[in-house]
Amino acid sequence: MRSRYSAYVLGLLDYLLKTWHPAMAPGDLELFPTKWLGLEVISAASTGDAGVVEFVARCKVNGKAERMHETSRFVRVRDALGERWVYIDGDQHPE
């Protein structure tokens, strides 16, 4: 989770796509002008090859402060890139 947040901060589109589950990844990804201000991981748990992370990411979009509160699901995969955790999807929490 922290590495994906860092990739958003740095605009690393290739890394974001590589850490997305192939069956769920968008074909293309566009990042909008966002100033990321911080990440708070609220909880993280895994059972076998499945993991869940709840987090709050703070940012500014067009000068307006926003918060993204999400519970994300990850799965561990083993492929040509090695063993790694990939993002499946997430549920947004209304503020």
Q: Which residue, chain included where needed, has tokens 């922290």?
A: 2
- Positive or negative: CA dihedral 33, 35, 40, 44: positive
Q: What is the pTM of this model?
A: 0.88
The CATH number given to whatever domain includes residue 61 is 3.10.450.50
Residue numbers of the domain that contains 61:
2-92
Q: How many domains does the chain have?
A: 1
Could you tell me whether strands 64-79 and 82-92 are parallel, antiparallel, or unpaired per DSSP bridges?
antiparallel
pLDDT value at residue 49: 96
- The series of mean pLDDT values per 10 residues for the chain, 95 residues long, is 92 92 87 92 96 97 94 94 92 90
- Strand locations in the chain (E): 34-47, 50-61, 64-79, 82-92
Phi and psi at 84, nearest 5°, equal -160, 160
Cβ–Cβ under 8 Å, residues 40 and 56: yes
